[in-house]
Structure 1
Amino acid sequence: MSEERQPNVTVFNSALETGVRSLVILAANFPAALDLQRLVDFDYLVVHSGDVNGPESLHPPLPMREGELLVRRKIIGSGISLMMSRGLVNRIAGAEGIVYQATDYAKPFVDSMATPYMRSLIDRANWVGETFGNMDTNELHNLISSFFDKWATQFHPSQGFGGG
């Protein structure tokens, strides 16, 4: 019996991929709970740790990767929902808004993944938590904004381009 494949189904850049990364980030920061924006920022820093003088980036340094920040929030939200549906993440509503926290099942689940990529992901998530976990929200925003600034300058046409 052959296994049917669904067309246009991908694991990369999916809720599954970002959900697992978010779960690893939450497990690395446990017992702290993180809001969605901090998860988005930490996800970028985990994947592109080399951009901030950290360990070698998990993914190749593609040009204009800073644009990922523009699309990452929605897909990470979907990934968190997937992890919540599996009992690995809790959503907590409080006076300061909604935050997410790893459950007691998260760390054993994360620790059970032993591929080289997962070990590298866990190492970088721990590094991001140690390096940026206590960073003030405004400081983190300024750091992440610097990526947007760099990205925006890549789109500015140079003077004289196109004859004008």
Structure 2
Amino acid sequence: MTDLKPMTFNGPLEAGIRAVAVLGSAYPNSFDIQTLTAYDYLLVRTSVLDGPEDLHPSAPIQTPATEVRRKIVQNALHMMMTRDLVERDVGAEGISYRAGEAAAMFLESLTTPYICALKERAEWLTDRLSDYDEAAFDEMMREFFDRWMVEFQDVQKVGEDSAS
């Protein structure tokens, strides 16, 4: 009997599909790695924006491990670029990413219930955040970060109290 490994949603393939879904729904817009990292988190946690039910089950601590997630998203983007699903743009403002030539056909070919829900949420998310300029988006994410830090400190405090 083979050991079954727990299902992960945080490998480069899964993050790559999420990135292609976001970039496909936002086409022709492009996003930098920081924004795509935030979108990667928000895509599966749409309820924090008063949106659809979260795609992934909730965890005790909702804090996204930003550096870890950023690395995963970066690896995912590189993987998707090798398949023409994502294009990298280098301009005066830095590096950004947009849906590649094969993105629309790729997304249309994915029809599982999970992927359909993912694509619906990507459409909802990019529509919901389309009016945010960079400063407003950064402020929103800062507010989430502040809330997550308080949440983490509360959970840590409870752990310390129970250890006493």
State TM-score, norm by structure 2: 0.86
CA distance in 2 between counterparts of 1:129 and 1:43 reads 11
After superposition, the C-alpha distances for 1:95-135 in whole angstroms (9 at most, x for unaligned) are 00001111221011111100000000000000011010231
CA distance in 1 between counterparts of 2:5 and 2:81 reads 25
Give the match's secondary structure for 1:87.
coil
Equivalent position of 1:146 in the other structure = 143
Q: Residue type of the partner of 1:151? A: W
State the 1:69 CA deviation. 3.2
Q: Residue type of the partner of 2:33? A: L
Equivalent position of 2:92 in the other structure = 95
Q: Residue type of the partner of 2:117? A: S
State the 1:9 CA deviation. 10
1:37 aligns with 2:63: no
State the 1:57 CA deviation. 0.7
1:115 aligns with 2:115: no
Q: Give the aligned CA root-mean-square deviation in angstroms.
A: 2.5
1:135 aligns with 2:137: no
State the 1:64 CA deviation. 1.2
Q: In the alignment, is the contact (CA less than 8 A) between 2:84 and 2:100 conserved in 1? A: yes
CA distance in 2 between counterparts of 1:18 and 1:118 reads 12
Q: Name the count of aligned residue pairs.
A: 158
State the 1:147 CA deviation. 2.0
Equivalent position of 1:125 in the other structure = 122
State the 1:13 CA deviation. 1.2
Q: In the alignment, is the contact (CA less than 8 A) between 2:43 and 2:121 conserved in 1? A: yes
Q: Sort the Cα spacing of 1:45 and 1:9 in 2 relative to 1 into closer, same or farther, 3 A.
A: closer
* Structure 1 portions without partners, runs of 5+: none
Equivalent position of 1:50 in the other structure = 47
State the 1:81 CA deviation. 0.2
CA distance in 2 between counterparts of 1:51 and 1:9 reads 26
Q: In the alignment, is the contact (CA less than 8 A) between 1:29 and 1:126 conserved in 2? A: yes
Q: Residue type of the partner of 1:65? A: Q
Q: Sort the Cα spacing of 1:96 and 1:118 in 2 relative to 1 into closer, same or farther, 3 A.
A: same
Q: Residue type of the partner of 2:103? A: A
Give the match's secondary structure for 1:67.
coil
Q: Residue type of the partner of 1:136? A: D
